[in-house]
Amino acid sequence: MFSLAADLWRVPGHQGQTLYMPAYVDALDMGGVKIVSVFPSNIDRGIPSVQATMVLVDGKTGEVCSIMDGTYLTQLRTGAAQGAATDILAREDSRVGALFGAGLQAWSQLEAMLTVRRLATVYVFDREKKRATELADRAQHELAGYGARIVADSSVDKVLPLADVITTVTTSKVPVFDGRLVKEGAHINGVGSYTPDMQELDEYLVKRVDRVFVDSRDAALAEAGDLIISMKHGTIGSDKIDGELGEVISGNMPGRRSKKEITLFKTVGIAVEDVVVATAAYRRAMTAGLGVRLQ
């Protein structure tokens, strides 16, 4: 199994960039590449700022066997990765969630948090208050089955010190909250920053956290602005990264070691996640007779 580093093409005239993300999973006999464009100002045009197409390549024949939309796929696999991290690293007694960012990825991030912990309240923040309100109102109705109160909020200083699970999924280039507000024992998921110059978590917090896990060490060192900026300034060294989430899942490394530790999962997204989820979707679609056959 391998995930190659994403190849990134910048489009400065439109503040956009296109990523090519290849991977191969031998256990599935499947390879693939996701082509994902990130154009942050698209949200003002009413179209997604992140757009993606997934191409699957049959591992036995090398033939392209499926082309599918990668946008929902990205939401699914990014939510799943965060859910796995929260499940493994957050305290069992977590009751309060905080979600920063109410854009395209936010829904699956919220659902992942609710799936793995019995949260009583989730506070949703966005610099566009309207977006946070719309997401919270819709979630309160459609995700009512989880039994959580989901509310849009703008009083970060008051509410954040209560949060047991904090997820950031914004396009921000500056920290989205003051790391001094995070309480002992909290678990943080940094999902949004995926280039060396993007940052959601401040340097104080990145230094303060007790345990840091990433989806891929190589990818994090190349792409995760939240960590790279602190490394450049000498606030932390690369040894601040304790390990990959997979090492904790496979039992090769301890995750949270005490109720007091602050844990951080920093994800930039890796291509293997796309191939695994796309293969499951492709195989189910073939069994169900869905899709269009291309000549």
Ligand X SMILES: NC(=O)c1ccc[n+]([C@@H]2O[C@H](COP(=O)([O-])OP(=O)(O)OC[C@H]3O[C@@H](n4cnc5c(N)ncnc54)[C@H](O)[C@@H]3O)[C@@H](O)[C@H]2O)c1
d(CA 224, CA 217): 10
Minimal distance, residue 193 CB to ligand X, in Å: 7
Stretch touching ligand X by CB under 6 A, among 180-188, 204-212, 266-274, 287-295: 266-274
Contact call for residue 213 and ligand X (CB under 6 A): no
Q: Is residue 207 flagged as an active site residue?
A: no
**Is 123 or 194 the residue whose CB approaches ligand X more closely?**
194
d(CA 101, CA 167): 9
Tokens of 160: 């954040």
d(CA 249, CA 254) in angstroms, rounded, equals 9
* x/- map, 85-104, ligand X, by CB under 6 A: ---------------xxxxx
Size, binding site for ligand X by CB under 6 A: 30
Instruction: Annotate 79-123 with DSSP letters as a single string.
Output: HHHHHHHHHHHS-TT--EEEEE--STTHHHHHHHHHHHS--SEEE
DSSP single-letter state for residue 53: E
Compute the least distance from the CB of residue 82 to ligand X, in Å: 8
Output 181 or 268, the one with its CB closest to ligand X.
268
User: Is residue 21 within the footprint of ligand X (CB under 6 A)?
Assistant: no
As given in the structure block, the two tokens for residue 188 are 């943080």
Q: Does 223 bind ligand X (CB under 6 A)?
A: no
For ligand X, the binding residue among 8, 20, 65, 127 (CB under 6 A) is 127
CA neighbor of 89 nearest in space, from 287, 293, 291, 261? 261
Which positions touch ligand X (CB under 6 A)? 38, 40, 43, 49-50, 74, 78, 100-106, 125-128, 131, 169-172, 176, 191-192, 194, 267-269
Residues known to be catalytic: 34
